[in-house]
Chain A
Amino acid sequence: MALLLKSARIVDPAAGLDGVGDVLVEDGLIAQVGENLECPGAEVYDLAGKVLVPGLVDMHVHLRDPGYEYKGDIETETRAAARGGFTGVCSMPNTDPVTDNGAVVEYVRSKAASVGHCRVYPAGAMTKGLKGEALSEMGDMVDHGCVAFTDDGRGVQSAGMMRRCMDYGKMFGKVFMSHCQDESLVDAGQVNEGVASTRLGLLGWPAAGEELQIERDIVLAELTGVRYHVQHISTARGVELVRAAKAKGLPVTAEATPHHMFLSEDDITSAYETSLKMNPPLRTKADAEAVTEALLDGTIDVVVTDHAPHAAWEKSREFELAPFGMIGLETSLATVLTNLVATGRMDYATLVERMAIAPRRILGLEQVSIASGSAADITVFDPEESWTVGEDGYVSKASNCGFEGQALTGRATHVFVGGVPTLVDGVVQER
């Protein structure tokens, strides 16, 4: 089965490409890239005016499966990923049972293979049950295809335990990813400590509670010699710590979410919008700008969503009772295009680096490229499409999106995973 993708602007810094051309896909691989390609019998997609890039990967996603299928499951949330333009996602291990052994990793991978709409790369827990007390079966998980270790949702509270995870897990060569949260400082914090916590009468979640663990983990990464990745970084000082570690040549990387760049604590009003309740919380405008700057200059390597679906009834509650998190897969690319590319702050090549190349590099996945011989994982977007978040609902099972109502410009139109179309003209394809 051959596909001929015609007349898109092809952008792939790894292949040195930025120009209009055609891509021929055969047997799941890119067969040829060039101008005026012909292939009798091939299915032709006219992509004039659109941008074609290596398939995007979101390396921080909660699929909620197994255990919380009422919020979202592997079928529905990978469907949302396809709608948002992603060819792959890294799933977080805070499932029920926790993804801390090979059997759960196997479940996630096999269910994704049978019902998923994109590739799923499972991350495994560092500690058993995410409790921060005992090592998880890292070797067993790696044997079943786990790509990274993280206790996401919680920080590992004991420095000694964090070191043991790194020391033991070093032999597997995977990245250690960390949700940084010192519980003795954060306690039951609900919103950023400062103006928001005072104004809303809610317990504060201090920036220091995140920064102290970033600093600690960088020290431990240097001590143990593992690759270390800061998840959903949200503060200006956290960015400085990563910048200093990189300047020192340490194998430290970081990710940021669109909501920590394009929203701030000021967006939470006396209406107590629970869709803006996040962990880590939305910080100050100055923090958001520092995080954005760091993404632009490469201190932050990757854009992720921390896609966190919740049932409507869970979010329709008092702010303190509502769970943390928002969905992001369907808006991530569009918010970056709208806020960074359309404003001239970021070019397409950098977008590809932050959303396609860097996540594969950090997770140790095979790179894809718009070049013959590469797997045909391809994202196509229309940079001009104007749309309003939520006006046609969501593809995700959940609707807790903090960008609801925002007018965005740019949206994925086509996605191909291993040469199979998963999104065509904005419509998710049935398997």
Chain B
Amino acid sequence: MFNNHKHLIDIAEYSDSEIMRILETARLFSEVNQRRIKKVPTLKGMTIVNMFNEPSTRTRSSFELAEKRLSADSLNFGGSSTSTVKGESLIDTVETLNAYKIDMIIVRDKHAGAPHIVTQHSPAAVVDAGDGKHMHPTQALLDLYTIWEHKKSFEGLKVGVVGDIAHSRVCGSLIPALKIMGAEVTVVAPQTLLPAVPSVLGADHVSLSLDDVLPELDVMYMLRIQNERLEGAPFPNINEYHRLFGLTRDRERLMKPDAIVCHPGPINRGAELDSYMADHPERSVILEQVYAGICVRMAVLYLLLGGADNGLAS
């Protein structure tokens, strides 16, 4: 338990001070991750199941490394071997995991709301690692961590989120989290990639033009154009998308001098970013986000499972 939180699903249930505590704890774990022996005995004896019911390499690897560096016993359950593929219901799968006597389930599922179902059928703590087009709270936290490292404060920070807002679970957590921390959020996309009511997520502004808003923004959050989710062809082709909504060398002149570029990965070069921006030594913080993912996930697991303090410098 972390304050009154047993699970991490809806970031909007966390206060600004609780989110800050997670980020500060992540900073302590960053120190661990820079040691030669990157491991603390904090969660020794705890069992964490990574239940990934849809393909995921990055998120799962990040959770797995976080678990290992906290000395938890982790079990990967799912992928192509998942029992749900064999027709077993999610509830029956969870009941099976319960019988293993586990402490936490990390849930990735292609169906929105799956982590909530898990909480209703398991005594274990649940962390949402992405459910359908709904939420992805640890992604939001690692994004906040990275932005915080660069901008020091969120108050009044102007963040632009560009791309496939409608199909993005990242937005379902990132935009509410940015709002909780006091930032101002502008979503930018063609109407075909916008959700029906962007303000429900917390977006302050909606723009159908990137160039119109680019000069105002402190943080550019470029969403991946997810080809596998683009049924119904919401734009003519990648080239046109890139021309209208891609962050490119040509557009850099419109950016604030200190604006940074975030991306949840993996990048589609030539779609949402060109290589100049993706690799920009001052602006691109994309690989820092990947690193932050480990630190933030260690912090979340540690706080929710109430790990011992040993090994942590604080």
A: residues with CB less than 8 A from B are: 187, 193-195, 197-202, 204, 206, 270-272, 313, 316-321
Quick one: which of A193, A195, A202, A204 contacts B132, CB cutoff 8 A?
A202
A81 to B200, CA, bound (A): 40
Using a CB–CB cutoff of 8 Å, the interface residues on chain B facing chain A are 9-10, 89-91, 109, 111-114, 116-117, 120, 131-135, 169, 172, 195-198, 200-201, 232
Could you tell me if A318 and B114 are in contact, using CB atoms closer than 8 angstroms? yes
- A201 & B90 in contact (Cβ 8 Å cutoff): no
Inter-subunit contact A198/B134 (CB<8 Å): no
Residue in B91, B113, B172 whose beta carbon sits within 8 Å of that of A272 in the complex: B113
Q: Which residues of B contact A321 (CB under 8 A)?
A: 111
Complex partner residue of B134 from A193, A201, A271, A316, CB under 8 angstroms: A201
B111 cross-chain contacts in A, Cβ below 8 A: 318-321
Are A270 and B197 in contact, CB atoms less than 8 angstroms apart?
no
A316 touches B232 (CB 8 A): no
Question: Contact: A198 with B116, CB < 8 Å?
Answer: no
Nearest to A197 among chain B residues (CB) is: B196
Q: Evaluate contact between B133 and A201: CB separation under 8 angstroms.
A: yes
Is the pair A319, B113 in contact by a Cβ cutoff of 8 Å? yes
Cβ-defined contact, B232 with A270, below 8 A: no
Is there an interface contact between A195 and B197, defined as CB atoms closer than 8 Å? yes
**A186: min CB distance to chain B, Å:** 12
Q: Counting chain B CB atoms within 10 Å of each CB, which of A200, A206, A318, A320 scores highest?
A: A318
Q: Point out the residues of chain A lying under 8 angstroms from B198, CB to CB.
A: 198
One of A200, A313, A316 near B112 (C-beta < 8 A): A200
* A313 CA / B116 CA spacing, docked (Å): 17
Q: How far is the CB of B68 from chain A (nearest CB, A)?
A: 30
Contact sample, A vs B, 15 pairs, CB 8 Å cutoff: A193-B196, A194-B197, A197-B196, A198-B200, A201-B132, A201-B133, A202-B112, A271-B113, A272-B117, A318-B109, A318-B114, A319-B112, A319-B113, A320-B111, A320-B132
Give bound CA distance, A199 to B197, whole Å: 9
Contact of B113 among A187, A197, A270, A316 (CB under 8 A): A270
Known A-B contacts A200-B113, A201-B131, A270-B113; the reply to A318 vs B232 at CB < 8 A is: no
Q: Which partner residue on chain A sits nearest B113 by CB separation?
A: A272
**Bound: A202/B197 CA distance, A:** 13
Known: A202-B132, A270-B113. 13 other contacts (CB 8 A): A187-B232, A193-B196, A194-B196, A197-B195, A200-B134, A201-B133, A201-B134, A202-B133, A271-B116, A272-B116, A313-B89, A318-B112, A319-B111
Q: How many angstroms between the C-alpha atoms of A201 and B172 in the bound complex?
A: 8
Q: Is the interface of A mostly helix, strand, loop or mixed?
A: loop
CA of A200 to CA of B9 in the docked complex: distance in angstroms? Answer: 12
Nearest CB in chain A to that of B201: its residue: A198
- Residues of B contacting A197 with CB < 8 Å? 195-196
Query: CA A270 – CA B169 in complex, angstroms?
Result: 14
- How long is the Cα–Cα vector from A198 to B117 in the complex, in angstroms? 20
How far, in Å, is A317 (CB) from chain B's closest CB? Answer: 6
Q: Is there an interface contact between A318 and B134, defined as CB atoms closer than 8 Å?
A: no
Known A201-B134, A270-B10: A320·B112 in contact at CB below 8 Å: yes
How many angstroms from the CA of A204 to the CA of B117 in the assembled complex? 21
Give the CA-CA distance A318 to B10 in the complex, in Å: 17
In the complex, what residue of chain A is closest to B166 when comparing beta carbons? A198
> Who on chain B is nearest to A206 by CB?
B196
B132 cross-chain contacts in A, Cβ below 8 A: 201-202, 320
CB–CB B201/A316 < 8 A: no
A201-B112 in contact given A195-B200, A320-B132 (Cβ < 8 Å): yes
* Nearest A residue (CB) for B168: A201
Q: Which of A187, A201, A206, A318 contacts B117 (CB 8 A)?
A: A318
Q: A residues within 8 A CB of B135?
A: 201
Bound-state Cα–Cα, A266 to B169, Å: 21
Contact residues in A for B109 (Cβ distance below 8 Å): 318
Min CB distance B192 to A, Å, is: 13
Q: CB distance A201 to B169 under 8 Å? A: yes
Q: How far is the CA of A200 from the CA of B116 in the complex (A)?
A: 12
Measured between beta carbons, the chain A residues less than 8 angstroms from B89 are: 313, 316-317
A38 CA to B111 CA, complexed, in Å = 65
Q: In the complex, what distance in Å separates the CA atom of A195 from the CA atom of B232?
A: 22
Chain A residues within 8 Å of B9, by CB = 270
Cβ of A202: which chain B residues have Cβ within 8 Å of it?
112, 132-134
Complex CA distance for A193 and B111, rounded to whole angstroms = 17
B161, chain A: closest CB distance, angstroms:
14
Q: Whole-angstrom distance between the alpha carbons of A310 and B263 in the complex?
A: 43
* Top 5 A-B residue pairs of the complex, sorted by shortest distance between their CB atoms: A201-B134, A272-B113, A318-B111, A201-B133, A198-B200
Report the separation of the CA atoms of residues A206 and B197 in the bound assembly, to the nearest whole angstrom.
Answer: 12
Complex Cα distance, B109 from A319, in Å, reads 12
- Measured CB to CB, the closest approach of chain A to B87, in angstroms, equals 11
CA A193 – CA B197 in complex, angstroms? 9
B113→A204 contact, CB < 8 A: no
Give bound CA distance, A271 to B121, whole Å.
13
Residues of chain B within 8 A (CB-CB) of A313 are 89
Measured CB to CB, the closest approach of chain A to B250, in angstroms, equals: 33
Q: Which residues of B contact A194 (CB under 8 A)?
A: 196-197
| C-alpha spacing A195/B202, complex, angstroms | 12
A200 to B131, CA, bound (A): 10
Using CB atoms, name the residue of chain B closest to A193: B196
Q: Is the CB of B113 within 8 A of A318?
A: yes
Q: Which residue of B lies closest to A317 (CB)?
A: B89
A219 to B111, CA, bound (A): 39
Give the Cβ gap from A78 to chain B, nearest Cβ, in Å. Answer: 30
Smallest Cβ distance from A401 to chain B, in angstroms?
Answer: 19
Closest Cβ neighbor of B195 among chain A residues: A198
Hey, which chain B residues are within 8 Å of A199, CB to CB? Answer: 200
